[in-house]
Amino acid sequence: MLAEMRQELKQSRQEVEELKKEVGELREELAAGSAGGAENLKEAVDQLRDDQQVIQSQVKTLDQVKVESESKYPLRLTGMVLFNSFVVDGAVDNPILPLIALPRTPVWVHHSLGATLEQTQLGLSATGPKLWNARTSADIATDFFSSSYTTIPPPTGMNLRLRTASVYLDWKKNQVSAGQQTPLITPLSPTSFATVGVPALAWAGNLWTWLPQATFIQRAMIRDSSHAVFGFGLLDPEAGDVTGEQAYGVNRRNLQPGYEGRIAYEWGDPSRPYELGGSGYYTRQLYYGSGTIQNQALDFWAGTADWRVPIPRVGELSGEFYRGRGLGDLGGGAFKNVVVEYGSNYASGLNATGGWAQWKSRLSPSLEVNAYFGMDNAQASQVRNQVPAANATPYSYLVKNQSTAANIIFRPKTYLVFSGEYRYLKSWYTYGPANEAQNLDLTMGYLF
């Protein structure tokens, strides 16, 4: 860890030297009568001071006694204290972090106002010895967010929840990892500090669930500034967030693990590369029922595409698209893997299509604006023809979910963040018009 910090310190000093050079050039422009020189000079000087503070902090860290774990290897505490205040107009499933809009009936609360620290995160990062010429490391991330989505009763309590945990073996071009992670087939996610308990656009076009899996990734250099990425993984697809399948009178058992693979091509500036990728997913699950429901082995699959296209001095366009069957475990398919249709003695996989796109603009080193849109669309005819579910919830009859949002993120210092975000939710069910809701979120956070 000390070696890494020294390397970071060296890089920071190089950045400071570059900033000093830029400041000198700006001073020359100012002396020559440059119209915008004063403003640019002030911004560069502020950034220089911020970077110098970071360097001083790193130097102090190097001077301190190294913190070690029981294994005598370095251990680092990471996290984010996140305060969210929110106003919701309309009925939603969870006012703290709304995912779907509900009908405006007396059953649901129509307006909500509040604040929370539930999306605060705590994590640990560790580095270990070399094994087979690979650098070993591990990390874990937790938060206090309640993942039960219902407005009756409203979410209460702050329980520690495991988000992700992984162990890594890193070679120069290859990586092997195992743990609870986001699926390999969905590498990107929209930027938001308002939706941290689950990623932005979860269940609205962004496949995201944290699943136990093992992956292998290889990076193959093609040219000096471009390379191909090949990945393969095995995962346990049972996430536990899908609509209870027991409500349809069926249960399931894994017949095979989930298989996932990804191929991508990246080129350009390593810090902001162009990226195009394609992925696939497959698993086979056995569904067995009671009464008239007979056993049936179902094939679940997904095909996905992802892209990231930076446009110099303007912004960046990114997004993902998917189509498949039985996507509830991955965070799609309107919270459902299967439905049991009228007149059928079998459960059948629910087809779904969705995706998202984001536009990012960096107005300055400390200020950025993001706008994004996502949609998850299950096959309506399958959901409409399903038999009534026992103890049904709104998720049981959800057909289509759509979300549009825009945020502004201000980071005056390296570890301090302020953000404001507006979200518009629109949800369709088996019958009736679309339901709408709006959400305004103001956030303050400290990263450590």
Residue 21 sits in the same domain as residue 99: no
Structure tokens at 345: 């003695």
Say if CB 62 and CB 5 are below 8 A apart: yes
| 366 touches 199 (CB < 8 A) | no
pLDDT 10s digits, 52-75: 565 555 545 444 445 556 667 888
How far is residue 11 from each of residues 8, 14, 21, 182, measured CA to CA in Å?
A: 5, 5, 15, 30
C-alpha span between 182 and 146 (Å, rounded):
19
Do 30 and 99 fall into the same domain? no
Residue 359 has pLDDT above 90, yes or no: yes
Residues 132 and 57 in one domain: no
Q: Are residues 254 and 367 in the same domain?
A: yes
In this structure, the answer to whether residues 60 and 184 fall within a common structural domain is no
Model confidence over 274-330: pLDDT tens digits?
Answer: 999 999 999 999 888 776 777 889 999 999 999 999 998 899 999 999 999 999 999
Q: Are residues 127 and 59 in the same domain?
A: no
Q: Can you give the pLDDT at residue 249? A: 72
Nearest-angstrom CA–CA distance, 299 and 113? 43
> For the segment 368-382, what is each residue's pLDDT rounded down to a tens digit?
999 999 999 999 999
Which two tokens mark 302?
A: 């997904």
Domain boundary among 50, 66, 82: 66
Beta bridge partners of 81: 446
How far CA 375 is from CA of 206, 237, 360, 387, 404, in Å, comes to 8, 22, 19, 25, 9
Measured between alpha carbons, how far is 156 from 153 in angstroms, rounded to an integer? 8
Whether 60 and 171 share a structural domain: no
Domain that holds residue 220: 71-447
Do 58 and 80 fall into the same domain? Answer: no
Q: Are residues 53 and 198 in the same domain?
A: no
Three-state secondary-structure class, residue 62: helix
Same domain? 275 vs 236: yes
Number of folded domains in the chain? 2
Token couple for 4: 């890494």
Examine the domain organization and report whether 409 and 347 are in the same domain: yes
pTM: 0.81
Q: What's the CATH number where 152 sits?
A: 2.40.160.10
Whether 62 and 78 map to the same domain: the answer is no
Q: Determine contact, residues 310/296, Cβ cutoff 8 Å.
A: no
